[in-house]
Chains A and B, each alone.
Chain A
Amino acid sequence: MTATLAASTEDAPPAPEVKRRGRGRSGQRTRTFYLFVGPWIAGFVLLTLFPLGYAFWMSLTNTDGLSPNWSYVGFENYVRVFQDTQTIESLGRTGIFMLATVPTGVAAGLAMAVLLNRDFRGRTLFRALFYLPAVVPGVAAALTFKIIFDKNAGAANAAVGAVGGEPISWLADPYTRFVLILMILWGVGGSMIISLAALQDVPRELLEAAKVDGASPAYSFFKITLPILSPIIFFQVVTGVIGSLQVFVPSLLLAPVNGPAAVTAVPEGNYFFMVHVYAEYFAKSHFGYASALLWVLFAFVLLITGIVFKLGNRSVFYGGVDPTEKEGS
């Protein structure tokens, strides 16, 4: 028995073996990790990093994408970005559009979600109806809005006329920007459905306890519901900001010219930064300059997103940790 024991002690695996086994599990985990993230990394490299790098390289040239005689121009295109009034104006316009649509869209979505989270008859029907516009294809939505806001035969001017107003040329400057904002907000059901899902996760016992303690519904909403929803709201703000800075297709769809040539006829009010980039790329064939514009936009989006995150850190409530306490600890 002793011999057996001794033998078994002698046979026992030395300590490094244990370590090797440990490394083996870790290596397996590492392999599994890379197996899972590998497709994403490949996609990221091929579809994001490579295009970004290529766009950067093009931004240092005056290429039109087709002609053989392009030249390196260094950072000339980047200097031009800050001298081009159309660029500056379209960037400013895009910023204003972002400020007009993101807070309004998130707030409207939340308000609708709160309303539709209550118990009442026909709630499911209303939820479906409110969400429906969000699934209507953008082209169909744009056509509908063009018909509604047609100067001569549209419902909008019929309403204006009914209250004694003169018909408005909604699809031309300076009104077309309002039509576009309305069209974007028409799809607020997307935001609503996210907020509605988040509302389901608000613990009822917290709200009931607050009620027992005499808290008003408004107080409960602002002190309990809203903090719990804050990560979801923050998510919507971040994605909304990024999306609105890249707004492009709706402007083309509302333009008075159909098809790819629409970019040449987008009214000034809807001439956003990405529309400008597209026009520089494909109407004016300024591939080099347009690539520089994209890099500037990339930097701008990073900057704005960074600011939003900085602000969000102070007001987003993550899993029971008060953000102010977290900062102080």
Chain B
Amino acid sequence: MSKSLGSALTRRTLMRGGAAAGATALGAGALSACAPSAGGGGGGGKTTLTIMAPENEFAPEFLKSIEEELDVKIKRVEVDTTKLTAMLASGTAPDLVRGLGAVETSFYVARDLALPLDDYFAKSDLLKEDDLDPVNDVWRYDGTVQGQGPRYGMAKDYSQDAMFWYNAALFESAGVDLPSETEPVTFDQWLDMGKELTKKDGDTTSVYGLSAGGLGLFISLVNMTASAGGSLFSEDLASVDFSSPEAQQALTWYLDYARSRVGFSPVEPNPDGWDWPPYQTGRLAMSWSGYWFGGAIAAEAELAETSRLAPAPTMGGERLSACFGATGYWIPKASKNPDEAWALFEHFMGGDPAKERAAGGWGMPSLLSLREDLPTGTVAQEQALAVQEAEADYFKVLTFSPYVKVEAVDAVLNEFLPDAINGDATAGSLADALNPEINALLEEGKELVK
């Protein structure tokens, strides 16, 4: 009873409100924030743009200045995939959306939800093709391969997220040698360092040696598998295989890491929810975070003196240093104000805001011309930039499947990992449990976009 693409619009119209119905019945209240129309015409004839963005990127004063500059009204809603799904499904799409290019581009493009931006780029004075950092290719998708085809968005900045930061003072107090600034440690060496750096008093941990959560469990495993020389995804991105030798190596390492309790995992939850608070307070020695983490570190003078960035660890395969996010913005196809949304996009990505972001050190700028604006005022900033520049030679984008959201796969991992870590599961038995579950999700997703 599958429908053809020819009547997709009719069905989509029919599906409008589907999310609204679901969420209302769910009682989540998520849709209340979707109620304002994304359309133009509000407030004395000015176009109203609805943007889904965090306040730290579009602060009220900043919004006000852009509103004056672009002669539009801007309504900001908080970034929330639940809300975004509801807005897209109910026909009230935002005009500009923040997203993770590396793992979301193909998902939205495969569902015909993202607006191709090539025509806009071609006419832009601020965003020139030859000035775009190659990282922006994660926002391209031709229906088969990520990195090729039309551009659907652009990174606001990026990091090679497989690198890690460490607090040299904690190394010194634990008597552990500092990692090299040019040669990567192996994952096993990294875990050993984590164990040596972890300070315990009985079962209470005062310093965690290593947090290997990265930007999410699944994407971390994708990276480790790639670093071992394999690929978790099949070539057509329609299935995963945790049973391959490289994936087994990654799973084995993660189980060892979680069981050693040297850092946060599903069985050793981080009450703060992310690495910065424990790192900031000297309770975490190494954080699996890229260059962007330096933006937070720079605000802490003492910590900035002792923090260093290190190359991405390797599992033994070809050396690579991946970007998991390439966080940026895209314009939904259903935007009622694409031209105004582009004007905002262009200003944010290539105007003064981009320069300010580069100077803040919260990530590598996505325009090559802004690299000279990166901060080098502190020892940590200078060292981080040098390590980052050397690491650029090993930059790699990890392709993600268009058939599933990364949250769905993380949910499956979290379903199985606690018992596996607490019990005596092997990487093999864990793979046997994960493969059918994740592949079923991928198969369902493929059915819906083919």
Give me the interface of A with B, judged by CB distance under 8 Å: 47, 50-55, 58, 62-73, 86, 146-147, 149-152, 157, 161, 166-167, 169, 171-173, 246, 248, 256-261, 263-268, 274, 277-279, 281-287, 290-291, 294
Interface pair A265/B26, CB less than 8 Å apart: no
* Residues of the B chain whose Cβ atoms lie less than 8 Å from the Cβ of A169: 267-269
Interface pair A294/B26, CB less than 8 Å apart: yes
Between-chain CB contacts (< 8 Å), 16 pairs? A55-B25, A62-B444, A67-B445, A68-B448, A69-B5, A69-B449, A86-B415, A151-B204, A166-B202, A172-B267, A248-B27, A256-B273, A260-B80, A281-B26, A284-B441, A291-B22
* Residues of the B chain whose Cβ atoms lie less than 8 Å from the Cβ of A54: 17-18, 20-22
- Which of B292-300, B323-331, B403-411 interfaces with chain A? B403-411
Interface pair B205/A69, CB less than 8 Å apart: no
- What's the count of A-B pairs with C-beta under 8 Å? 184
In the complex, chain B residues 241-277 whose Cβ is within 8 Å of any chain A Cβ: 264, 266-271, 273-274
CB-contact partner of A264 in B5, B269, B283, B411, under 8 A: B411
* Residues of the A chain whose Cβ atoms lie less than 8 Å from the Cβ of B273: 256-259
- In the complex where A172-B418, A278-B28 touch, is A258 in contact with B274 (Cβ < 8 A)? yes
Extra A-B contacts (6), CB below 8 Å, given A284-B405, A284-B411: A173-B267, A173-B422, A267-B269, A282-B82, A291-B22, A294-B26
The residue in chain A whose Cβ has the minimal distance to the Cβ of B273 is: A258
- In the complex where A68-B111, A285-B405 touch, is A152 in contact with B449 (Cβ < 8 A)? no
> What mask results when residues 1 to 45 of chain B are scored 1 for a CB within 8 Å of chain A, else 0?
111010010011001011111111111100000000000000000
Does B132 interact with chain A (Cβ within 8 Å)? Answer: no
- In the complex where A62-B447, A172-B269 touch, is A69 in contact with B15 (Cβ < 8 A)? no
Report the 5 A-B pairs with minimum CB-CB distance, sorted nearest first. Answer: A54-B21, A256-B269, A258-B273, A67-B448, A68-B8
CB-contact partner of A167 in B3, B28, B203, B415, under 8 A: B203
Interface pair B15/A157, CB less than 8 Å apart: no
Interface pair B410/A65, CB less than 8 Å apart: no
The smallest beta-carbon distance between A235 and chain B, in angstroms, is: 20
Interface pair A285/B408, CB less than 8 Å apart: yes
* Residues of the A chain whose Cβ atoms lie less than 8 Å from the Cβ of B170: none
The residue in chain B whose Cβ has the minimal distance to the Cβ of A147 is: B271
CB-contact partner of A283 in B205, B264, B411, B422, under 8 A: B411
The smallest beta-carbon distance between A273 and chain B, in angstroms, is: 11
**Most chain-A Cβ atoms within 10 A of its Cβ — which of B15, B22, B205, B415?**
B22
The smallest beta-carbon distance between A301 and chain B, in angstroms, is: 12
**Most chain-A Cβ atoms within 10 A of its Cβ — which of B20, B80, B269, B411?**
B269
* Total interface residues in chain B, CB < 8 Å: 63
In the complex, chain B residues 402-442 whose Cβ is within 8 Å of any chain A Cβ: 404-405, 407-408, 410-411, 414-415, 418, 422, 441
* Residues of the A chain whose Cβ atoms lie less than 8 Å from the Cβ of B5: 68-69
Interface pair A71/B266, CB less than 8 Å apart: no
The residue in chain A whose Cβ has the minimal distance to the Cβ of B421 is: A172
CB-contact partner of A69 in B3, B266, B405, under 8 A: B3
The residue in chain A whose Cβ has the minimal distance to the Cβ of B15 is: A63
* Residues of the B chain whose Cβ atoms lie less than 8 Å from the Cβ of A53: 21
**Most chain-A Cβ atoms within 10 A of its Cβ — which of B5, B88, B407?**
B407
CB-contact partner of A58 in B21, B204, B206, B445, under 8 A: B21
CB-contact partner of B410 in A50, A173, A264, under 8 A: A264
Q: Report the bound CA distance from A256 to B8 in whole Å.
A: 40
Interface pair A294/B22, CB less than 8 Å apart: yes
The smallest beta-carbon distance between B439 and chain A, in angstroms, is: 14
Interface pair B85/A285, CB less than 8 Å apart: yes
Q: Report the bound CA distance from A53 to B22 in whole Å.
A: 10
The residue in chain B whose Cβ has the minimal distance to the Cβ of A72 is: B1
Interface pair A278/B205, CB less than 8 Å apart: no
Interface pair A66/B88, CB less than 8 Å apart: yes
CB-contact partner of A70 in B11, B25, B266, B415, under 8 A: B11
Interface pair B1/A264, CB less than 8 Å apart: no
CB-contact partner of B111 in A67, A268, A284, A291, under 8 A: A67
* Residues of the A chain whose Cβ atoms lie less than 8 Å from the Cβ of B127: none
The smallest beta-carbon distance between A168 and chain B, in angstroms, is: 9
Interface pair B12/A68, CB less than 8 Å apart: yes
- In the complex where A70-B15, A268-B418 touch, is A282 in contact with B448 (Cβ < 8 A)? no
The smallest beta-carbon distance between B21 and chain A, in angstroms, is: 3
Q: Report the bound CA distance from A67 to B449 in whole Å.
A: 6
* Residues of the B chain whose Cβ atoms lie less than 8 Å from the Cβ of A268: 415, 418
Q: Report the bound CA distance from A261 to B103 in whole Å.
A: 14
CB-contact partner of B408 in A69, A171, A267, A283, under 8 A: A283
Interface pair B266/A284, CB less than 8 Å apart: no
Q: Report the bound CA distance from A115 to B298 in whole Å.
A: 55
Does B113 interact with chain A (Cβ within 8 Å)? Answer: yes
Q: Report the bound CA distance from A283 to B445 in whole Å.
A: 13
The residue in chain A whose Cβ has the minimal distance to the Cβ of B444 is: A62
Interface pair A65/B271, CB less than 8 Å apart: no
The residue in chain B whose Cβ has the minimal distance to the Cβ of A64 is: B448
Interface pair B85/A71, CB less than 8 Å apart: no
The residue in chain A whose Cβ has the minimal distance to the Cβ of B81 is: A260
* Residues of the B chain whose Cβ atoms lie less than 8 Å from the Cβ of A70: 3, 11, 15, 448
CB-contact partner of B25 in A51, A259, A286, under 8 A: A51
Does B450 interact with chain A (Cβ within 8 Å)? Answer: yes
Interface pair B85/A51, CB less than 8 Å apart: no
Q: Report the bound CA distance from A6 to B233 in whole Å.
A: 103
CB-contact partner of B18 in A65, A167, A277, under 8 A: A65
Q: Report the bound CA distance from A70 to B407 in whole Å.
A: 21
CB-contact partner of B448 in A69, A171, A246, A266, under 8 A: A69
Q: Report the bound CA distance from A151 to B25 in whole Å.
A: 37
